[in-house]
Every structure is written in C-alpha cells, then in structure tokens.
Amino acid sequence: MLQSFKMALKSIWGNKMRSFLTMLGIIIGVAAVIILVSVVSGYMNTVVESFASMGVNQINVNVTNMNSRSLSVEEMYEFYDEHPDLYDKITPSVSVSYPLKNGNDTMNATSIRGYSEDYLGIKEYKMDTGRNLSYADCMAERKVAVLGYYTAQTLFGNPEDAIGEKIKIGSNSLKVVGVVERQDEDELEEGGTDDFVWLPYSVAAKMSRSSDISNYIITSISTTNTEECTETLENFLYTIFKNDDFYNVSANSELLDELNSQIAMMSTMLGGIAGISLLVAGVGVMNIMLVSVTERTREIGIRKALGARKRVIMQQFVIEAAVTSSIGGIIGILLGSAGTSVIGSAMGISAAPSAGAVLLSFGVSVGIGLLFGYMPASRAAKLNPIDALRSE
C-alpha cells in the first residue's frame, strides 16, 4: 500500500501539467460547492438574526372592524388575561401619520406609533434615559412620548436634554419622558432603527381619529407553542367576526420556518449544480487514467511477468486516481475557504466555510477518484502479460 502511494506521487509529479489539468475540474467543483453553500448559509444566518431582532415569538394580529362586528381593546386584553400560560406580552399598535415638529425643526421620516408599556419588552430594548410608557399613561390618555436615540439627538442635541421637553405631532403637544438606547451601532440615519416616537396607544388612536384599534402585537411565552397560540387566537377572533376574512393572525416563527425551508432548498439546489462540475471532473480523471494505463502498458507487463498480482496492479492505479482527486480536493478547499471570506465581505455578511460543505466536498472528491479510477485500474489488472510486453 505504501509503495503504491509513493508510486502514485511519483507519477503525478512526473506529469505535473497533465496532473494539474486533471485536478482542475475537481478544484473548481470543490471550491464552488464550499463557496455557494457557505455564502448561502451566511446569508441565512443574517436573515435569521434579522427576524430574531423582530421577535421570533411575536404574533401579529390585524382585524377589520365594522359597525356590526368589532374587536375592542378591552376584549383583546380580557382574552390575553385568560391565557397567562400562552401569552407573555401584548400591545395595541396604532400608526400616526402626522410629521414631528420641535420649534422650526420638522422630521417627516420619523416612525410615530402608539403602543402600550409592554412594547419596550417586546422589542427587548432598554431605556437610555428617562422612563418608559406606563399603564397609567395609556389609561389616562396622557400626552407623553418616548423617543428613539436619533430622534432625541436630532431635535435636542443629546438624550438627556430631551427629557421634559415638548414635541408637536399635528396639533398635539407632548412631553418627552424617555429616550430608548441606541440600536444601530453603525450609523444613525433619518428613517432608521433609532428614528421613532412612541405614544400611549389611547393617545395615538385619538390623533388618528380611530375609535377602534385594528392592529395588535402579542408574544408567546415560548417559541415552541406558537402554533397553539395562533390557533387559540384565531378561534377567539372567529367567535367575534364569524368570518375568517375579517382578521389575520401571523407568527414570525412561521415566516422564519418558511424562509429557512426556502433557503435550505436553494442551498441544496446550488450545491447540486456545483456538484455537477465534480461529476465532470470525475470523467476527466477516468480519461487521464485510461491514457496513463495505455502509456504504461509495458511497465504493467513487466510487473505481471515478475509475479505482481491483479490486486496489486489495480491497487496502484486506484490509489493514483484517489491521490490525484484528494490533492485537487485539498486545493479546492483552500480556494473555497478564501473565496467564501472574500465574497462574504463583499456582500456585507458574515460567511465562514461550512464544516459540512468542506467534509462533503472532500469526501466526494476522494470518492470520485476511487469510482472513476476503478475502470482504468481494472483494465490494467486484466492485461495479458505477454500482450503487454509486446506493446511499444
């Protein structure tokens, strides 16, 4: 076995250009599999992290209220209180479309929405300074506001100076009671993650002149029981509206599962396409090994005449094919790893070579050498010694 391995290396080194061209298909195939699978995996992780920041256990409820059938905030909270084993937090969600003003400064891209005191916990944010909205604010319809870091910095210079100051939304003047911690670590920008105003949902509902609130955000206690939570919610809403066309319940975890499924399918498909090049490379290995058998027919005849068994001859050529494929696989892994880092950086995602992709592609490359090297090896082993010695 060791002698066959040494002879394989000697043969490869003796025909460097031919050996390199034989390996080239394997190098490209292995590198392509690693790059495609790893980059897609990195992109998937980025998307998952993005969904996690939105709250994987978050359930969004949208209803269409009518004169004959409507869902009140009180009914929604009663339902929530009846299921402490399923739901963790709840908040109505009301959009306000007026611009934000402070003196002569106007901010048109700022997100202004009404929530309950639970929204801070739902988003898993923390306060930078001041306080959060409270239950009393919502019940008493107090005209108070919590600002995002960018909003406070733009209007007042820094978060500390914003506390106790007044802002104007439409014709309503509100007192700033708190500023949320900075979320965007890279750059604060208009319309970004830190550009928002939170109001008590009852105040926001009055501003938007909507007596009935149609949007709610609820979080489940665990991500494992999201299906039960959504089903319970849907059953409750059906008892009110009697028609599932008037409400919609969607869980972020369900969207994430669907997205993961789609990305995994895409990753498999891309890996399969890249794997085709490995198959083509295998045909190249077989062709070169057939040429090698033809060139070394006389050598094979001499070895058989001296008593070499079929098994030994076959072993020599199979090992040579496997070593050729293995070296190509190693080079492909190195190129694929480097390519993954470069492409990941260019795309702005964190992409690292997948251990599974590396092991799979290397295993396939070795397997190709063994599989496609078998036929030439078998042909060499079956040569008649006399006929082989007569060849030129």
Q: Does residue 27 share a domain with residue 101?
A: no
How many folded domains does the chain comprise?
2
Specify the pLDDT at position 148: 94
Q: What is the DSSP letter of 182?
A: P
Q: Does residue 290 share a domain with residue 190?
A: no
SS3 assignment, position 200? strand
Question: Which tokens go with 115?
Answer: 């929530």
Specify the pLDDT at position 388: 53
C-alpha span between 127 and 76 (Å, rounded): 27
Distances (CA, A) of 370 to 275, 291, 333, 392: 17, 17, 19, 28
- For residue 290, tell me if it sits in a domain: yes
Q: Does residue 204 share a domain with residue 266?
A: no
pLDDT mean by block of 10 residues, the chain; 392 residues: 63 71 80 81 73 73 86 93 93 92 86 95 92 95 95 91 92 94 83 92 89 89 82 92 89 72 74 72 73 65 67 72 82 88 81 78 78 71 61 54
Specify the pLDDT at position 304: 65
Q: Does residue 124 share a domain with residue 43?
A: no
C-alpha span between 366 and 371 (Å, rounded): 9
Specify the pLDDT at position 113: 95
C-alpha span between 190 and 196 (Å, rounded): 10
Specify the pLDDT at position 239: 92
- For residue 56, tell me if it sits in a domain: no
DSSP 26-64: HHHHHHHHHHHHHHHHHHHHHHHHHHHHH-TTEEEEEE-
Q: Does residue 296 share a domain with residue 208?
A: no
Q: Does residue 293 share a domain with residue 380?
A: yes
- For residue 217, tell me if it sits in a domain: no
- For residue 245, tell me if it sits in a domain: no
C-alpha span between 244 and 39 (Å, rounded): 40
Residue closest to 313 by CA, chosen among 388, 377, 376 = 377
- For residue 122, tell me if it sits in a domain: yes
> 279, 34 in Cβ contact below 8 A?
no
Domain that holds residue 15: 2-50+258-390
Q: Does residue 203 share a domain with residue 108?
A: yes
- For residue 310, tell me if it sits in a domain: yes
